[in-house]
Structure 1
Amino acid sequence: MKKAARLSAIAGALLAAPFAADAATLNTMDQVGTALMACWKPPANSENSSVTLSFSFKRDGTLIGPPKPTAIKVSGDDKARQAYVDAATTALRDCLPLSFSPGLAKGVAGNVFTLQYNSPKQ
């Protein structure tokens, strides 16, 4: 697995049935992305906004340190921007811990991942 991997929130993942973080063992990064996006609820009045978080997992499905915003596109003032980043960070943490299969746990531990949280476009 590459040192830096990218999870992408694609339309198909958003249309999939909700995937409870603790419901089943996750075997692929696509399943991880779907599980994490199931917890995302964009803030009100945040159309056309996005934030990308960078983070690393431990083998037990928790994070190594806090997630870091690496790209932020939010209309409005600093308060609106911070609220959006906080909502994404909360969504990520609310989905944890994830339940990785032994093979996936071995492959993801310590690697840096990014996930983009988007609001619906108008």
Structure 2
Amino acid sequence: MIAGGRCSRRQGLAVLALLGLSGPALGQARLPLPDLQTVEPFRGTAHPRIDELTTAHPPLWRQDDLREPDLSRPRRSLRTLPGTLIGTVRASDRPATGPVDRIPALYAALRACWKLPMGADRLETTVRVAFRRDGRVVGEPRVTYRSPGPEGARETLSRSVVAAVNDCPSLAFSPSFGQAIAGRPVAIRFVDDRTP
């Protein structure tokens, strides 16, 4: 069959000539149609049929996976950028004292720069940021999540987190760490886990 099911008049006449039909017999020709029950489906390397897909492969998810998400506890988001580093800075963490040469040292250095606001107990904020090789921030940190709570406390916590990321003098990356992390998105969850 000609691609797309269409052919020019010239191509059609050539096919009919191959079948032995030409001249006056052409108008009276009755070509046999194939019996659709006996035609074998194509089993080549082209796209598989839909029924082959459903029987040959298990489903991608189970029906019970399609339930409402539990928003009462924080979970790792599925909507992160590919290659995003994800970490948590807690108020109870010990601040860093040495150079930043590993991922845990980055979070500890950010904890040292974070000035915890009053009244933000048990709240959390997540920011997405990228760093240059020397530890400076590329662009502006973006707040991607704020936990439910009083609006004033949430806003104060978000401002303190952005200030900690932007104005942290202790983010002096080692050359190898700076080269490894430069330009990569980092999602950092800041959790004020102090007890009231």
> Is the pair's TM-score, using the shorter chain for normalization, greater than 0.5?
yes
Identity of aligned residues (%): 25
Q: Distance in 1 between matches of 2:150 and 2:172?
A: 37
Which 5+ residue runs of structure 2 have no aligned equivalent?
A: 1-81
Residue pairs, 1:56-75, within 5 angstroms: 56-75=130-149
Residue pairs, 1:21-32, within 5 angstroms: 24-32=98-106
Q: Distance in 2 between matches of 1:97 and 1:26?
A: 8
Q: Distance in 2 between matches of 1:91 and 1:106?
A: 22
Which 5+ residue runs of structure 1 have no aligned equivalent?
A: none
Q: Distance in 1 between matches of 2:148 and 2:114?
A: 16
CA-atom RMSD in angstroms: 2.1
Report the CA distance between 1:10 and its aligned residue: 5.5
1:9 aligned to which of 89, 92, 98? 89
> 8 Å contact 2:125–2:143 — kept in the other structure?
yes
Residue pairs, 1:1-122, within 5 angstroms: 3-9=83-89, 14=93, 16=94, 18-20=95-97, 24-77=98-151, 79-96=152-169, 98-119=171-192, 120-122=194-196
> 8 Å contact 1:57–1:110 — kept in the other structure?
yes
Report the CA distance between 1:102 and its aligned residue: 1.4
> 8 Å contact 2:89–2:110 — kept in the other structure?
no
Task: Tell me whether 28-37 or 85-94 shows the greater mean CA deviation.
Answer: 85-94
Q: Distance in 1 between matches of 2:157 and 2:108?
A: 20
TM value normalised by structure 1: 0.80
Report the CA distance between 1:80 and its aligned residue: 3.1
Q: Aligned pair count? A: 114
SS state at 1:53 partner: strand
Matched to 2:154, the amino acid is R
SS state at 1:103 partner: helix
Report the CA distance between 1:100 and its aligned residue: 1.2
SS state at 2:139 partner: coil
Q: Distance in 2 between matches of 1:4 and 1:96?
A: 23
